[in-house]
Structure 1
Amino acid sequence: MTSKTAPKIQKKASKKSKKSWRKNTDIEDVEEFLEDQRLEERLGGAFKARKDEDIFMVDKGPEDSPLITRKTRKQLRAEKPLKCFHHLETKGKVADPVGQRTRVKTQQERQNPMLKAQITQKRLGGWKTASEISAHQDRSTALKAKKDQQAERKTRRRTNFDFDLWTETPGDVEKEIIQSDEWLSDTTKRHNLKESGKLTRKVPEDFHRKPSTLTAVSQPHPGESYNPSYKEHQDLMWQAAMVEMKKEKEHLKIEYHTTRMFPSVKDAPTQESWINEMSEGIKELEAAKKEEEETGSDEDVLEEKGEDEELTQRDNKVKTRKQRRKEIQLLAEDKRVRRLKEEKKKNQDVFRTKKFKRTLEAQEKVTQAKMRKRRLQKEAKLSQPAQLSTHKFEEPDLDLKLTEELTGNLRNIRPEGNILADRYNSLKRRNLVETRVPHKNVKNGKKRKRVEKRNYKMPWQKKD
């Protein structure tokens, strides 16, 4: 392959410069020689420099031949390297020109030798990192789960009866086991519960909570009976009186803020009082004169303004370097003093830990008391009707019978109340239905006019 003759040069080619020499010189045979040499290097070197054992092999028999093997095609495929690592394999056998390349050291290699020696000494005493302890626990948990699974596979029948058959069902026990197992993820638990038909839907806490703690049918007052005792009837009369007094109070409250706001006839303003009230503006003029006397004349004000301008002009002088340096030093000193005070305060706070602890305990008690109060208020609201609309719920009047209306027997007594209205009021009281008020169907407050059309009248209804 070596070239013995000089490279060919094109005829009538320019030889004026080196550029023309490179352009017009044929070096194909040199390129072929170099390419063959690179191929031999990739294949392990030149064949002339190799031994016969590396190139040829002696076929002694059919059993030793690599072409005939007793392995199946599946075994051969398993021994064959994966196709995804095919491009990572080094095809050529050319040595790396750079013997020692730059490589990022691992965390263990970058450790300080003294620190590495300390860790080695600790490990001899049985010390382990948190990740190693966690990995050991995970491996032990996985091994235990694997053993339990193998034991369960031996027999599908239940052999461990660690529950009461009459109080719990096996499905509930399995559900508790699945939910309490820390090794399983949430997705796995949800999947197993769903497949077993024991998955409980996740709903808000107050989804199944009743809007009110009141009973559907409240027990009536004993005084409402057709033949009540004297004490119970008087108690019911007293409650009815209190309701009427409350209504009267509300009515008087409205009257107080409307009618009683205005003066009576004897306290009404007269002509004389109106003149006195309108002439009170002269006093304000006298007050203005007194203010002028106190402030002084305009000349004095101008003199004071001139003095102030002179002072401002004096203050606007440029500071010297000495003054600026002194100002910086004072600021730095002030900053240093404040920092020392803060450090001293921090050091003193160490000796006040007991006081801080008592303060925190007192705050915790106050917080607990507030939480308890809010919880009681929330519970108390459940026993009262809430305002679900623009109108508030008003308790209906008591079904009361006066003393002279009582008959003593059920046959002669006049019935009171309405069962349908009572049921509807119970729904509103328990916050199941919002409170509504009937509205009049009147447009613009005008009464509609009724007109009879003659077309709709029958012949005998028409009048001549």
Structure 2
Amino acid sequence: KRWNKNKKKNWRNKIDLTDLEDNLDKQRLELRTGGLVKDKLDHELYVVEKKAGNVNELPKQKPKYKRLRVDQILVPNPKDIKPTSKRNCAKFKRREARQTLIAKLGKKKTPVRGRSKHVNLSLDIWNQESKEIAEKVFRKNEIMRHTEGVVGKAQIQRPLHLDNKFGVKQAVKAVEPAHPGASYNPTFEDHQDLMLQEHNRESHKIAVNEKIERAIATNPLEIATDESQQKEWMEGLFDGGEEESDLEEDDDEGIRVNPPVSTEDRKTRKVRKREAREKDELKKKKIEWENKLKEHEIFRTKTFLSEIKQKEKKMELRKAKRQLRDRMPVLSAVKYVEPDQDVQLSSDMRGSLRQLKPEGNLIFDRYKSLQKRCIIETREKFKPPRRKYKIKFQEKRSFREIEL
């Protein structure tokens, strides 16, 4: 049915008022039965349950299968039924064991407030072994310990990278406090300590740059020129006849034929025996001297111990350096570099906050902190690559033909 929407009597036809009418009916019902619910107090609406028993207990479920009335009259208790054969006897025993186990598992002990579930108050820990206490307190038997050692421990063990928020081995604070020497009115010692740190950092940078320059530096006298290359190429081409003849003469003079060994120069058997005896004596003396040195090393135990301690210290220092180096995971090809601290010279120091000049940049500080905590990777400002050839501009013919 159609109606005119510009008439007031037809406005109600297009508005759904069912929710409003339901709400009004509900309010009228509440007014009839003792007043509106929203105006009542808590103790008028709710009642505290004071009955004994656990509120969270589920209602007892009814058995799925009900016994017939005939069976109840004939056999009031099903446990009194005796099995006819051995096979049925074993079946009844298994069924009873299963039912007792289910009954035990179904019972839940209510834990005492403020105490753990597994704590036994009557447990004497002084007169028992640790294994027995662990079995009673933690309910661990040999099978559970075996599975933990072989299989379960590897699965339950928490990964190391989850111990820290961002996966860094040593935790880094989000906001690190500045050095006390960076204060507007620091003590003399703190300010000098900060100046020394920055001095060492700058000197290290200068030393690195000097090392690179020394490695790159070349001697201008050693650089090959066009003239030196031509001389090398021309060597031996001109005026080489006399030199070659001189060289041949020298070679002829240098060649000498060894004369045959005479029988008089040969060693006799007596001489050979004497030399062998002397060699054996030298070997024996050397062995005796080495043994004496080993015996005297007992009196040098203090020096050996000090050397061992020094080696251990060096090893610890290397280990600490390696840990510092491996602290941050590699997220990009660029290494993280600590930014320079804001340092004021002694001449620039001011004793009041009015004369203080602001230094540093808060956004840069937060950006570096994110890099240090490995939230974002370290980056560098993009530099476009240099062109090998210059850009060549050329007018097109079609453009050149246009004349205004």
TM-score over 0.5 (shorter chain): no
Question: Highest relative contact order (Cα 8 Å, sep 6+), 1 or 2?
Answer: 2
**Larger Rg computed on CA atoms:** 1
> What TM-score do you get using the length of structure 1 for normalisation?
0.35
> What TM-score do you get using the length of structure 2 for normalisation?
0.39
